[in-house]
A and B are shown apart, each in its own frame.
Chain A
Amino acid sequence: MSRLFITQREINFINDIAKEVVKDVVGQKIYLFQISAAKSKVHDIYEESQDKVFESPIELDCLVKYNAQEIKTNRFGSEEYYTIEAYIHSKDLLDKGIEILEGDFFSYGSTFFEITKAPVSQTIFGQIEHKRFITVSGRQARKEQFLSKVFGPTSMEFTDDDAIQDTFVQQRGFENNKLGATGDVRDLRKNGTLEEPISGPKEVSKRGGSVNKGSSFYDDL
């Protein structure tokens, strides 16, 4: 679409809507484990690191395409094999200063994945400087390959405290919400086009118990 109709203001609008859908409505997330180039010991000759050191995990808001597991059978028996695609908003990554590289790991539920590719998938209305999202393709990592604390939610089969997510808090462009720092930036607000919402981020949680609805979303806090 022509640049006459898609100006920076429209780009901001599109980005903000995308962030709203991902962060304030859908609420899916992955945990990214980036390889620390500084901390990993790299072989002098091969320039590869046999024992990689990872940075602390980063929570990333995204839309996840969860593929059904594939059952692979070989001479050692059968194994469940997961692949996954996560779509991460490019501007959100830029705001947070995160660069996703092949070889990094991420978890979704109780499964860890190695990132096999992370290409920039599309531009916004063909404007090359405005990237739309990154498609992160992950291949299930073997346990000996990557092992970390599992961050919930995982599965209703488990009994861990965070196995089922019972709290979802919107971000709505606020620097912090009840769960901590968000890193969320809404460009229309940042550049003064729009003002802050008339009320803060809403949450879905058990705090809505005063009317016994099981969710604060339907109750005033």
Chain B
Amino acid sequence: MATFANTSNPTPFGIYDNDSDFPGEADNMVTYVKRNLGDDILSVELTKKQIWANFEDATLQYSAILNQYQAKSQLVNFLGYATGSLTGGEEKYVRENLEFLTRFAEPYAMEAGIGGSYNSISGSIQLEVGRQDYDLYTELVDANGDSVFDDTKGKLKIEEVFHYNPQAAYRFFDTTSAINYLNNEFSFESFTPETIFYILPVYEDILRAGQLDASNRVRKSNYSYKINGTNLRLYPIPTRTNKAVIRVRQYPDPLTPAYKDDTIHGVSNMSNLPFGNVQYSRINSIGRQWIRQYTLALSMERLGYIRGKFGSIPVPGESVTLNSSDMISNGRSDRDSLRDKLREMLESMTYDKLMEIQSTRAEQIQKQLRFVPVPNGKAIFYG
């Protein structure tokens, strides 16, 4: 009699053919399926290979569902990870990381000018006395005099214009001192001789600096700019021929940041998570029983299709109708029910759910502990 081990290509994909436990279970599965479908009394028109195919299918189904839920719990830790051969991450209890969150924070840092994944470009415009409008796309040049604008990267976005912008430092100490204005005219900076120092916490300094900066920009400074098309309009009208330094950035190409970033080509979603098939020999009794039942359900459905190829089978003098529709509907409903139950069970075991459960449990413990008497000497009593 043919056994799994001595049959060539016993399963369609051969994924578990060399697993240490699968072949033995496959032989038993034939008896399990056939006996449950009544082969002891009347023939079950299923070949061993069909049953083994269903067995493999059931195991793959189990593995896929399991990995889907594992992906729900772990995808965030794998994002950007090398996909490799798309295996190796399954059945692992991985360490958590915050890469996902920090990656999300990068654009905000970039907008704030304190980080991000893209370089800003600094350039300058040579100001001319009495000329207020300058074309950024042609007149903004780097230190070598070359245009900063790269027409392959889309429009320029101005991050900061270092026009003549008085620093806050020398006004920091005495914003109303007339000498500041004098210093300003002579381009002196830093503190003035009238400065009085106070010992203050650092945050006081930071807050005050921010306040002054905003004050200078909004209320006091005449130095500002407007963008009109490709032109930068400076206020007030330049009276000197110095350079206005401008920091700009072009379209941030998400596939090409400023540095070599292999994580862009790493795991991006469930489809390229390195989750291979679960090894059959590592599936416990809970899973194996599910697989047996699922194999039976699949076999029942297949048998229904076989028996249903003809509406009725001619027998001598009569014709008989086989139980095809029962087989199909029962097999399908068993299969769906098993799958739903497994999903339901796994849904309650995602890491998020486990945290919820643990949290609830902790709260419940606290509630219970309130009713536990505190031993004498361990508490302070009033009254």
Contact = CB atoms under 8 A, between A and B. Distances in A.
B: contact size bracket: 20 to 34
Contacts of A196: 1
Contacts of B322: 17
A188 B45 contact: yes
Given A14-B313, A18-B314, A195 B42 contact: no
B188 interface: no
B310 A87 contact: no
B43 A63 contact: no
Contacts of B317: 63, 65, 85, 87, 121, 133, 135
Given A194-B47, A195-B48, A198-B31, A22 B41 contact: no
A190 to B, nearest CB: 13
A182 interface: no
Contacts of A29: none
A135 B317 CA distance: 8
A48 B266 CA distance: 95
Interface string B38-69: 01111111111000000000000000000000
Contacts of B45: 13, 16, 188, 194
A198 B2 contact: no
Contacts of A198: 30-31, 34-35, 39-40
A79 B47 CA distance: 55
A197 B316 CA distance: 24
A192 to B, nearest CB: 9
Interface in B300-354: 306, 309-310, 313-318, 320, 322
A63 B318 contact: yes
A124 to B, nearest CB: 6
Given A87-B317, A135-B317, A20 B42 contact: yes
B40 A199 contact: yes
Contact of B315 (A5, A18, A125): A18
Contacts of B41: 24, 170, 202
A63 B317 CA distance: 7
Task: Please provide the 10 A-B residue pairs with the shortest distance between their CB atoms, ordered closest to farther.
Answer: A87-B317, A87-B316, A133-B316, A18-B315, A17-B313, A21-B315, A199-B40, A198-B34, A89-B316, A63-B317
9 contacts: A14-B313, A24-B42, A89-B316, A124-B314, A132-B316, A133-B315, A135-B317, A197-B34, A198-B31
